[in-house]
Amino acid sequence: MKQHLWKDNAACLGLEQNLFFDDYEENPEIRSSVDNICMRCPVVKQCFAVGISNKEWGVWGGIYIENGDISRDINNHKSKQDWANTWKILTLEIE
């Protein structure tokens, strides 16, 4: 059985994965576009949970994390409204 079956439904499936890692770190101009991909993704919650619990680095659930912690420096492009929308999406209960 596949460990992360949720990945099959990810909006990033088939995209260049470096967009969510080194490119995101090194190119601030792409960050908002990458964030938007994540915020429209049907498995954004699962992605974020895996990134945090596995102490990953890169963009997981629309948030750049380093060793499972949210990176303030890399996420500094997000406005207060961006953060509010992100947390709403990540914490909203599905009925």
pLDDT in tens, 1-10: 456 688 999 9
Give the chain's radius of gyration (CA, Å).
13
Stated pTM of the model: 0.89
pLDDT of 95 above 50: no
Q: In angstroms, rounded to a whole number, what is the distance separating the alpha carbons of residues 12 and 47?
A: 11
Output the CA–CA distances (angstroms, integers) from residue 88 to 2, 15, 93, in the order listed.
Answer: 29, 25, 9
User: What would the two tokens of residue 93 be?
Assistant: 């209960």
Chain-centroid distance of CA 1 in Å reads: 24
Q: Give per-residue pLDDT as tens, 19-53.
A: 999 999 999 999 999 999 999 999 999 999 999 99
